[in-house]
A and B are shown apart, each in its own frame.
Chain A
């Protein structure tokens, strides 16, 4: 199992999203600044800050739902459907305690009827699709019992 994209999240027992944090003003950016762009090319997005360096930090594994929906039709390429025929899946925008809203798919087995603005969700890692290298994993939001 390999993450579908490098450097955005950790895997294992307690997975976390990874953000870039400005070393000057501590502003956070997700998705993190691309590693191939190099730290020297990072200019802080906070217009009041002239920081150019960042750390990699873990974001909180839990947040509250800002809003949610689902995909009842198969999205076009470059989306790679996980199953044939296509299986609808849910999506959520989740507000983290760090003051950032992160979009993600909702965990397998959960749909819009399990969600509500303000509801609690937690980060999990699941399989997005299978390609020639094997299973590719993605972070997802899983509803937490109230």
Chain B
């Protein structure tokens, strides 16, 4: 028994100023059309929920189901911050594996305001996400910058290395019809953009976007019975939490767990996310042909490459400089253009990564194709300990 992706679809990302439902329905219809399955045959809808914006997002699953026209399907909604999409896919997959559903539609969509993401209004003196702003002025880019600065001091990374990630991803995204930013970038341009949080410049940090992504999941038998052409297999979905003690400072927290009593765990949280996916899929990191990782900042892409064991700790800059992570290289990373080209639309992004890998594995990623890709991995992490990694195979 396995679960396959029968269809994938997106709404182009950008700042469109419309309701998130519209984007989600557009992506859902595109995914259904891609699969050749009628909406009436969908027996499960899973919505990726957004909490920060557009508060109808609190009931995302049913909002999409109603907008598509009630069809009596079972329903679920997932919230796991940036990992929401992976958790939604996992919910759909689990239900199919249990024999409770055959055809699931998973949708994530959002509208995001300009500027820094911030907590909702109100005073919450027990909420770490609120406290980090009030007491320290600790924004999301400040956390990304801590990781970037550590790479510089420990491994000799340079601001030019980080800019090169942007240059690479901007080039990857040029031909992607769903990408918001489709324009070449230069190292000079990145370094000349305003400093946000040292050492990260404005162009090192992903924007916030409106966007949507959807996939149709079915059992492998259903896909076969209905003659669905070249489905890709969902070989693993990792939704792990950290293992105590979590010793790497993690957004939005103000301190790590204490390691004095138990010692440091074998793997960091981010390392464990990928490892759980590899274990579940029975795939070795050396087997991976393409990766879509969460480049909230340019430097963070380098962290993920190591966390996914695509190279040893401290060697991601060397991989980048050698051109190994660009299209045509040994292990292309973010062929879609990544968040550098899309911007962040929280409940949609992890699904968008899976859409891209689906097209890559089907040989349909026109203008950005990783030739002969058979195994792809995504990586992402949601606020408050939500792991997210998906492995697709064909």
A positions within 8 Å CB-CB of B: 4-5, 19, 25-31, 34, 37, 45-49, 66-73, 75-80, 89, 91, 93, 98-105, 112, 116-118, 128, 138
With a cutoff of 8 Å between Cβ atoms, the chain B residues found around residue A93 in the complex are 146, 249
Give the A-B contact count at a CB cut-off of 8 A.
Answer: 140
Query: A80 vs B261: C-alpha distance in the bound complex, in angstroms?
Result: 37
Q: Is the beta-carbon distance between B195 and A72 smaller than 8 angstroms?
A: yes
Q: Is the beta-carbon distance between A103 and B136 smaller than 8 angstroms?
A: yes
With a cutoff of 8 Å between Cβ atoms, the chain B residues found around residue A47 in the complex are 244
Q: Binary interface profile of B, 111-136, with partner A (CB < 8 Å = 1, else 0)?
A: 00001101101010110001111111
The distance from the CB of A100 to the nearest CB of chain B, in whole angstroms, is 4
Q: Which of A48, A69, A77, A117 has the most CB of B within 10 A?
A: A69
Q: Is the beta-carbon distance between B258 and A27 smaller than 8 angstroms?
A: yes
Partner of B197, one of A30, A31, A72, A78: A72
Q: Is the beta-carbon distance between A68 and B262 smaller than 8 angstroms?
A: no
B145 within 8 A of A: yes
B56 within 8 A of A: no
B positions within 8 Å CB-CB of A: 115-116, 118-119, 121, 123, 125-126, 130-139, 142, 145-150, 153-154, 194-200, 244-245, 247, 249, 253-262
Query: A26 vs B132: C-alpha distance in the bound complex, in angstroms?
Result: 26
Query: A72 vs B194: C-alpha distance in the bound complex, in angstroms?
Result: 9
- A-B contact list, 11 entries, CB within 8 Å: A31-B254, A47-B244, A66-B150, A67-B146, A69-B142, A73-B194, A75-B116, A78-B133, A79-B133, A98-B260, A117-B150
Query: A30 vs B131: C-alpha distance in the bound complex, in angstroms?
Result: 13
Q: Which of A26, A29, A101 has the most CB of B within 10 A?
A: A101
With a cutoff of 8 Å between Cβ atoms, the chain A residues found around residue B138 in the complex are 75, 91, 103
Query: A48 vs B367: C-alpha distance in the bound complex, in angstroms?
Result: 52
Q: Which of B130, B145, B258 has the most CB of A within 10 A?
A: B258
Partner of A25, one of B126, B149, B253, B261: B261
Closest to A139 in B: B135
Q: Is the beta-carbon distance between B146 and A69 smaller than 8 angstroms?
A: yes
Q: Is the beta-carbon distance between B255 and A91 smaller than 8 angstroms?
A: no
Q: Is the beta-carbon distance between B255 and A103 smaller than 8 angstroms?
A: yes
Given known contacts A75-B116, A105-B137, A45 and B257 CB-to-CB distance under 8 angstroms: yes
With a cutoff of 8 Å between Cβ atoms, the chain B residues found around residue A104 in the complex are 136
Q: Is the beta-carbon distance between B139 and A70 smaller than 8 angstroms?
A: no
Given known contacts A69-B198, A72-B196, A89 and B137 CB-to-CB distance under 8 angstroms: yes
Partner of A100, one of B136, B137, B257: B257
- A-B pairs with lowest CB-CB distance, top 9: A69-B145, A99-B260, A117-B153, A75-B137, A76-B118, A99-B259, A67-B146, A67-B150, A28-B258
With a cutoff of 8 Å between Cβ atoms, the chain B residues found around residue A89 in the complex are 137
